[in-house]
Amino acid sequence: MNRQDLIKAAEDFVENSKYNYIGKKEAISEDVIGMKIFEKPILAFGSASDEYFLLLKKPYAVGKHFVAPKEWLPNSKTVISFFLPFSETVRKGNKRDMLWPSREWLHGRIEGQNFLNKLCNHLKSKLMEEGYDSVVPSLDERFWSVNLKVVHYILNCPLQATGLRGM
């Protein structure tokens, strides 16, 4: 499996998975039934040996509790990172009222996180089917968090290291 195959697998899953669309059972109002949560993903690939990851262990960055790719998976070669942009419906919905989150954004946050986990597991399965070892840090039993701001930063560090800076 090459990078393009994995990108295609991610794009197909995002476009076709029922979990990327709000079903009647989950909908908090009828106007969001069938709403698409995310658009086409943006993927990036970086070296698991990139020294940038080790810089994140510095006290002025994340700190010694940051877990580098080689610590998650000692034989790792590549770090795969992706960004899922919200659909136009979610983005527009969140502009209506600047004081309260929109129904669209609430679904994006809750069902969106559920979908994100399913996409991670889908890609992990695809890689493992091809004989690659794979780990999803945020779904691994070793993952922990104390401060949500720190977790947000840690989850976005692979984005930085793989070139999706400023996303």
Per-residue pLDDT in tens (0 to 9) along the chain, 167 residues:
899 999 999 999 999 999 999 999 999 999 999 999 999 999 999 999 999 999 999 988 889 989 999 999 999 999 999 999 999 999 999 888 888 889 999 999 999 999 999 999 999 999 999 999 999 999 988 887 665 554 555 555 565 566 665 54
At residue 110, φ and ψ (nearest 5 deg) are: -80, -65
Question: What are the beta bridge partners of residue 36?
Answer: 21
Residue 160 confidence (pLDDT) = 59
For the entire predicted model, the pTM comes to 0.83
Q: Which of 102, 101, 166, 161 has the alpha carbon at shortest distance from 137?
A: 161
Element (H, E) at 42: strand 42-47
Residue 21 confidence (pLDDT) = 98
Please, which residues have CB within 8 angstroms of residue 155's CB and are 6 or more apart in sequence? Answer: 138
Question: What are the beta bridge partners of residue 83?
Answer: 42
Q: How many CB atoms lie within 10 A of CB 110?
A: 13
Q: How many CB atoms lie within 10 A of CB 130?
A: 12
Residue 144 confidence (pLDDT) = 78
Distance in angstroms (rounded) separating the CA atoms of residues 82 and 90: 19
Query: Rg (Cα) of the chain, in Å, rounded?
Result: 17
